[in-house]
């Protein structure tokens, strides 16, 4: 007696041919056994595979062909089971049994060589270890399917066993969600489906989604966190089939949506996103089908050696092999990128992702803390680590916000909400000629490039939103561009952005085991040039003919002109792009013990600025090419070349430096802007009196303003007498960036920096950063970037006047600054998200960062008055502060103070001697920690 079989559904014209052939090849005479027709059965699947391949070669869609593969297998299995007699007894004596397809076979997504997932579902009366049902006996016990050429190891579960298995294993649960009845007891299968929903889905939604999200994170990390890998994994890679499937699985658990159409009808995705996902899914399946047909085995990784033949097999017809390969891989990258970006966006849009956690380490302070903003800035709101527009027209109202948005996200270390990303995409039409030439947009973009530690992440987000390629078409042409070199891991655009992320990682890992590169990075005065060089170092790969570094330097020259880089920056950029392979080549192929080789390399490099940036670019490029491209041996070679070339360059003081070129350019620009406003002798005195670093920090309009401040300060001194001259203070609200700039001009004196920071803190202002410079005539110009605590990001008129009054009283000897600072701190409520001990205080001294000064680095939680504590302690230690680099980010400070001994026989020299170093470290650390513990100043 035979059981009723489930009827497979035909899906195409070719399936009618397969069905007809199945009726002939798979027929079994009544009361006969399928083994009696074994030769005919063994011929069917290879025959069907040939018919399906012909159909594939005619252009069948990927999804359509997979459905046909599943249908052909349905016919085969139905005939096999129909050919197994169930015995002469009553069927009621047999255990109730259903043969179920699950997993990829269950959802009819079977490629020619995919695994065949089968489940024998019984009613619980099938004895364990006893094959007392003919189907189970023949298929599982006697290996009938293997004899017929079908590799499959069916599962055998009762409903209760299947449910327990599903709740213990996420993969099994997911596979059982996608089941079809192939043959057997329909009622049993319906019961299983109902119990599965009741016991594995309902009440398990959050648990399942959490596991799926972790799977997404782990899997994407394992496969490169990029959809544009040189050898993509079509199933498990980013933007692969698993990303697509995971989205549907999680959406089913969260919203009951079983298809993209259901997600669209529920307004969770747009029609365009649905169409893009469908197209990508179909293309990925078509590529996998070609792989299976061509190599006759289950393959998910598109190895580089497979790619030319797969491209040809899929009908790419460019005359050159490289052209066919680039067209095919470009299409594949575009589809995988669409899947990756869309699924990531939809995951967040569905609120599937948990909110970022606030963790207490320093690195996480800088990278992961997400403050809930209490005020809007520049038309955007910052809530729980995401940026939202205040209204839909915020970018239309001021197109320059399109670029500023990413600066806000960068400086606050937050991400764009999916709605904001969509708004950016809809606003890309605003990137016209006027936008590309806009001075404000240009300076904003350069500021983004100069923000150490956050460039790669933000440019990645900008690229995913479509803005980066629009604003910088030289980079846009690299999107999904194939890398022909075997050692590359990513497509060109992705490689470029990964290089920038590797540079970010160096900055963010302040505790890295090798501090040498970090110190070099800290010493750069123009990090935006290095970032731009990395962004353009492979731009020449979009061109044909010349070597990419030669065509790349021409591209970089156009970009430099459009971005109006100063002569020194342009010189460095062009050098880095043209010679980005130089250091790796020389270090790995030349004799580094030959002085002539080092001399030649140093001459080609030309300056320490270029050498430092080339070192960091080389390291980032190697790390961004392939995980295995950087090792200890290569590191030692490159560092040896760097140190030996540096020795030569530091001796070459006679050549005209790029610094001189920069200062000459700035001087001319200041004179042009200040014609009729400032005297030529004032300009000369300023340029002769300021240290070189000042001119690498500020542009001509700011320098002109400083010269006018100095003139005002001097005139005040003449009017009021040398002992009564008031500091000149200038305030500027930077509304685009959400802070106030305070510039103070006064005489330099012992403890000046400490007095200024204390006065700002006593006035209720929080210091975000500072620039400290002193002219050779003793006039100091100190710049502080401040905010007022509370809802107002800018310094109010009351705070400003309070600071100026405090400063006047302080210099007149009528103010107890210690008491004022203590009072201000006691009045300030510590934000709820701050805990005193969440970040350890660290103090480090380093004489390698500068040959003439000692670098004192302080890492600590941010508090009002902290700079006052540090600078006052340095003064008490009789150290002369010459340079301060203040960095405050998301509740943490990393301040670096360059100082020399202030008194005694070592006055003017760096700090030396272990006991002196330990004294400074211990004193600073104990003063800061004691202040944190007591909640007041330690003096």
**Cα(207)–Cα(187) distance, rounded to whole angstroms?**
29
Q: Is the pLDDT of residue 1 over 50?
A: no
Query: Residue 628's pLDDT band (boundaries 50, 70, 90)?
Result: low
- Going by the DSSP 8-state scheme, the letter that residue 837 receives in this structure is G
Per-residue pLDDT at 369? 40
Per-residue pLDDT at 8? 38
Query: Residue 836's pLDDT band (boundaries 50, 70, 90)?
Result: very low
- Return all residues near 38 (Cβ < 8 A) that are at least 6 apart: 147, 148
Q: Is the pLDDT of residue 830 over 50?
A: no
Tokens of 715: 């005139």
Q: Which of 188, 189, 164, 162 is nearest to 176 (CA)?
A: 162
**Cα(643)–Cα(689) distance, rounded to whole angstroms?**
31
Q: Is the pLDDT of residue 894 over 70?
A: yes
**Residues facing 157 on adjacent strands:** 121
Rounded average pLDDT over 115-129: 82
**Cα(857)–Cα(928) distance, rounded to whole angstroms?**
13
Query: Residue 888's pLDDT band (boundaries 50, 70, 90)?
Result: low
Per-residue pLDDT at 840? 79
Phi-psi region of 726 (alpha: psi -120 to 50; beta: other; left: phi over 0): beta
Residue position matching structure tokens 């006679």:
654
- Return all residues near 498 (Cβ < 8 A) that are at least 6 apart: 226, 456, 490, 624
Is 939 or 673 the better-scoring residue by pLDDT? 673
Please report, for residues 120, 133, 134, 206, 834, the alpha-carbon distance to residue 91 in angstroms, rounded to integers and kept in the order given.
Answer: 17, 10, 11, 43, 72
Per-residue pLDDT at 227? 83
Tokens of 922: 């211990």
Of 107-116, 250-259, 689-698, give the range with the top mean pLDDT: 107-116
Residue 350 phi/psi, 5-degree rounding, is: -80, 0
Rounded average pLDDT over 901-922: 90
- Going by the DSSP 8-state scheme, the letter that residue 98 receives in this structure is E
Q: Which of 766, 744, 762 is nearest to 806 (CA)?
A: 762
Query: How many secondary structure helices (H) and strands (E) does the chain include?
Result: 42, 16
Q: Is the pLDDT of residue 356 over 60?
A: no
Q: Is the pLDDT of residue 744 over 90?
A: yes
Tokens of 127: 């004895």
3-state SS assignment for residue 295: helix
Per-residue pLDDT at 512? 63
Residue 752 phi/psi, 5-degree rounding, is: -60, -50
Rounded average pLDDT over 260-279: 91
Is 527 or 932 the better-scoring residue by pLDDT? 527
**Residues facing 844 on adjacent strands:** 857
- How far does Cα 42 stand from its chain's mean position? 51
Rounded average pLDDT over 206-232: 84
Q: Is the pLDDT of residue 305 over 90?
A: no
> Minimum mean pLDDT among 4-13, 137-146, 748-757: which range?
4-13
Greatest alpha-carbon pair distance for the chain in Å reads 122
Please report, for residues 122, 134, 937, the alpha-carbon distance to residue 2 in angstroms, rounded to integers and kept in the order given.
Answer: 17, 11, 90
Beta-carbon count within 10 A of 554 CB: 15
3-state SS assignment for residue 117: coil
> Minimum mean pLDDT among 611-625, 677-691, 898-912: which range?
898-912
**Cα(674)–Cα(264) distance, rounded to whole angstroms?**
60
Rounded average pLDDT over 133-148: 78
**Residues facing 386 on adjacent strands:** 383, 415
Contact between 208 and 167 under an 8 Å Cβ cutoff? The reply is: no
**Cα(329)–Cα(231) distance, rounded to whole angstroms?**
10
Is the Cα torsion angle 828, 833, 837, 843 positive or negative in sign? Answer: negative
pLDDT digits (tens, 9 = 90+) for 416-445: 988 899 899 999 999 999 999 999 999 999
Residue 911: CA atoms inside 13 Å, Cβ hemisphere, count? 25
Q: Is the pLDDT of residue 359 over 60?
A: no
Per-residue pLDDT at 816? 86
Q: Is the pLDDT of residue 184 over 50?
A: yes
Tokens of 7: 């009827």
Contact between 864 and 828 under an 8 Å Cβ cutoff? The reply is: yes
Is 165 or 485 the better-scoring residue by pLDDT? 165
**Cα(196)–Cα(178) distance, rounded to whole angstroms?**
11
Please report, for residues 28, 29, 152, 287, the alpha-carbon distance to residue 44 in angstroms, rounded to integers and kept in the order given.
Answer: 14, 17, 17, 24
Query: Residue 7's pLDDT band (boundaries 50, 70, 90)?
Result: very low
Phi-psi region of 912 (alpha: psi -120 to 50; beta: other; left: phi over 0): beta
Q: Is the pLDDT of residue 790 over 80?
A: no
- How far does Cα 881 stand from its chain's mean position? 37
**Cα(79)–Cα(91) distance, rounded to whole angstroms?**
19
- β-bridge pairing 892-901 and 854-861: antiparallel
Residues for the chain: how many in total? 939
Beta-carbon count within 10 A of 659 CB: 16
**For the whole prediction, is pTM greater than 0.85?**
no
Contact between 534 and 559 under an 8 Å Cβ cutoff? The reply is: no
Q: Is the pLDDT of residue 128 over 70?
A: no
**Cα(196)–Cα(159) distance, rounded to whole angstroms?**
9
- Going by the DSSP 8-state scheme, the letter that residue 201 receives in this structure is I
Q: Which of 410, 631, 643, 407 is nearest to 504 (CA)?
A: 410
Q: Is the pLDDT of residue 654 over 50?
A: no
Contact between 228 and 491 under an 8 Å Cβ cutoff? The reply is: yes
Q: Is the pLDDT of residue 694 over 80?
A: yes
> Minimum mean pLDDT among 214-218, 360-364, 549-553, 619-623: which range?
360-364
**Cα(537)–Cα(556) distance, rounded to whole angstroms?**
8
**Cα(740)–Cα(746) distance, rounded to whole angstroms?**
20
Per-residue pLDDT at 881? 80
Tokens of 395: 């970018």
> Minimum mean pLDDT among 81-85, 88-92, 131-135, 332-336: which range?
88-92
pLDDT digits (tens, 9 = 90+) for 468-487: 999 999 999 988 877 655 55
**Residues facing 893 on adjacent strands:** 860, 888
Per-residue pLDDT at 352? 52
Query: Residue 216's pLDDT band (boundaries 50, 70, 90)?
Result: confident
- % of the chain with per-residue pLDDT over 90: 42
Tokens of 13: 């014209």
Per-residue pLDDT at 691? 87
Per-residue pLDDT at 939? 36
Query: Residue 591's pLDDT band (boundaries 50, 70, 90)?
Result: low
Please report, for residues 28, 277, 651, 666, the alpha-carbon distance to residue 344 in angstroms, rounded to integers and kept in the order given.
Answer: 51, 12, 53, 46
Tokens of 78: 């139905």
Rounded average pLDDT over 235-246: 93
Is 892 or 248 the better-scoring residue by pLDDT? 248
3-state SS assignment for residue 462: helix
Please report, for residues 213, 300, 709, 744, the alpha-carbon distance to residue 727 in angstroms, rounded to integers and kept in the order given.
Answer: 57, 70, 10, 7
Tokens of 342: 């869309």
Please report, for residues 162, 207, 350, 408, the alpha-carbon distance to residue 173 in angstroms, rounded to integers and kept in the order given.
Answer: 9, 12, 21, 42
Per-residue pLDDT at 658? 65
The mean pLDDT of the chain is 84
Per-residue pLDDT at 693? 78
**Cα(137)–Cα(140) distance, rounded to whole angstroms?**
6
Per-residue pLDDT at 529? 96
Per-residue pLDDT at 797? 92
Beta strands in 682-808 (DSSP E): 728-734, 739-747, 765-774, 779-788
Tokens of 355: 């909110």
Q: Is the pLDDT of residue 608 over 60?
A: yes
Per-residue pLDDT at 721? 62
- Going by the DSSP 8-state scheme, the letter that residue 137 receives in this structure is I
**Cα(718)–Cα(696) distance, rounded to whole angstroms?**
32
């Amino acid at each position: 007696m035979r059981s009723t079989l489930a009827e497979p559904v035909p899906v195409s014209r070719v399936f009618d041919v397969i069905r007809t052939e199945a009726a002939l090849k798979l027929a079994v005479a009544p009361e006969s056994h399928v083994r009696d027709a074994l030769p005919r059965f063994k011929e069917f699947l290879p025959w069907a595979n040939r018919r399906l391949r012909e159909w594939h070669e005619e252009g069948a869609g990927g999804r359509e062909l997979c459905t046909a593969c599943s249908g052909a297998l349905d016919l085969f299995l139905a005939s096999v089971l129909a050919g197994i007699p169930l015995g002469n007894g009553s069927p009621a004596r047999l255990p109730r049994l259903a043969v179920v397809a699950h997993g990829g076979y269950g959802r009819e997504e079977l490629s020619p060589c995919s695994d065949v997932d089968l489940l024998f579902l019984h009613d619980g009366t099938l004895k364990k270890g006893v094959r007392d049902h003919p189907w189970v006996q023949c298929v599982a016990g006697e290996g009938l399917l293997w004899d017929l050429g079908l590799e499959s190891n069916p599962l055998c579960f009762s409903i209760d066993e299947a449910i327990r298995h599903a709740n213990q294993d996420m993969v099994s649960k997911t596979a059982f969600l996608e089941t079809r009845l192939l043959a057997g007891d329909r009622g049993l299968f319906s019961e299983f489906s109902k119990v599965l929903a009741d016991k594995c889905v309902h009440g398990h939604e959050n648990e399942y989604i959490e596991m799926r999200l972790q799977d997404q994170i782990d899997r994407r990390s394992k496969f490169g966190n990029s959809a544009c890998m040189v050898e993509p994994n079509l199933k498990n890679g980013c933007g692969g089939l698993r990303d697509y499937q995971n989205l549907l699985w999680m959406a089913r658990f969260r919203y009951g949506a079983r298809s993209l159409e259901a997600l669209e009808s529920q307004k969770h995705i747009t029609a365009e996103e649905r169409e893009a996902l469908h197209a990508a899914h179909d293309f990925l399946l078509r590529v996998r089908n070609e792989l299976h047909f061509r190599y006759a085995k289950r393959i998910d990784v598109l190895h580089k050696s497979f790619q030319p033949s797969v491209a040809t097999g899929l009908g790419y017809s460019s005359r050159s092999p490289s052209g066919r390969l680039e067209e095919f891989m470009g299409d594949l990258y575009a589809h995988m990128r669409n899947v990756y970006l869309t699924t990531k966006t939809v995951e967040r849009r569905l609120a599937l992702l948990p909110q970022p956690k606030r963790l207490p380490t320093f690195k996480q302070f800088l990278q992961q803390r997400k403050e809930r903003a209490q005020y809007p800035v520049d038309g955007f709101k910052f809530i729980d680590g995401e940026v939202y527009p205040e209204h839909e027209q915020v970018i239309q109202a001021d197109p320059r916000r399109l670029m500023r948005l990413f600066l806000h996200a960068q400086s606050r270390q937050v991400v764009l909400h999916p709605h904001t990303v969509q708004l950016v995409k809809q606003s890309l039409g605003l990137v016209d000629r006027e936008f590309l030439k806009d001075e404000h947009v240009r300076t904003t973009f350069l500021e983004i490039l100069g923000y150490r530690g956050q460039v790669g992440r933000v440019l990645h987000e900008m690229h995913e939103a479509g803005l980066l390629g629009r604003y910088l078409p030289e980079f846009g042409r690299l999107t999904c561009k194939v890398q022909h070199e075997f050692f590359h891991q990513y497509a060109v655009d992705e490689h470029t952005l990964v290089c920038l992320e590797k540079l970010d990682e160096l900055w963010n890992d302040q505790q890295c085991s090798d501090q040498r590169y970090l110190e070099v990075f800290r010493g750069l005065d123009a990090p935006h040039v290095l970032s731009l060089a990395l962004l353009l170092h492979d731009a020449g790969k979009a061109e044909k003919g010349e070597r990419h570094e030669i065509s790349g330097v021409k591209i970089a020259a156009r970009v430099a002109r459009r971005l109006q880089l100063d002569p020194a920056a342009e010189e460095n950029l062009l050098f880095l792009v043209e010679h980005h392979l130089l250091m790796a080549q020389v270090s790995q192929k030349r004799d580094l013990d030959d002085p002539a080789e080092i001399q030649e390399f140093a001459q080609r490099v030309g300056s320490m600025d270029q050498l430092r940036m080339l070192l960091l670019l080389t390291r980032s490029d190697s790390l961004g090419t392939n995980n295995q491209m950087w090792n200890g041996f290569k590191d030692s070679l490159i560092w040896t070349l760097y140190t030996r070339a540096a020795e030569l360059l530091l001796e070459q003081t006679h050549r005209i430096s790029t610094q001189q070129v920069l200062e000459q350019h700035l001087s001319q620009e200041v004179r042009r802007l200040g014609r009729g406003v400032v005297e030529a002798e004032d300009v000369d005195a300023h340029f002769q009196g300021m240290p070189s670093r000042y001119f690498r920090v500020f542009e001509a309009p700011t320098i002109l303003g400083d010269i006018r401040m100095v003139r005002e300060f001097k005139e005040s001194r003449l009017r009021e007498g040398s002992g009564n001259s008031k500091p000149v203070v200038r305030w500027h609200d930077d509304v685009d960036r959400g802070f106030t700039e305070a510039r103070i001009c006064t005489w330099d004196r012992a403890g000046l920096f400490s007095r200024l920071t204390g006065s700002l803190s006593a006035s209720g202002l929080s210091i975000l950063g500072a620039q400290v410079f002193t002219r050779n005539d003793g006039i100091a110009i100190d710049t502080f970037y401040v905010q007022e605590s509370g809802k107002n990001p800018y310094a109010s008129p009351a705070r400003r006047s309070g600071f100026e009054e405090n400063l006047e009283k302080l210099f007149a000897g009528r103010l107890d600054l210690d008491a004022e600072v203590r009072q201000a701190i006691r009045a300030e409520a510590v934000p709820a998200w701050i805990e005193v001990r969440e970040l350890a205080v660290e103090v480090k001294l380093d004489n390698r960062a500068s040959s003439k000064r000692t670098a004192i680095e302080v890492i600590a939680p941010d508090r009002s008055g902290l700079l006052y504590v540090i600078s006052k302690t340095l003064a008490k230690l009789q150290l002369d502060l010459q340079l301060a680099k203040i960095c405050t980010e998301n509740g943490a400070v990393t301040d670096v103070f360059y100082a020399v001994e202030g008194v005694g026989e070592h006055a003017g020299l760096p700090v030396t001697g272990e006991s002196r170093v330990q004294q400074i470290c211990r004193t600073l650390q104990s003063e800061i920690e004691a202040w944190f513990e007591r909640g007041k100043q330690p003096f």
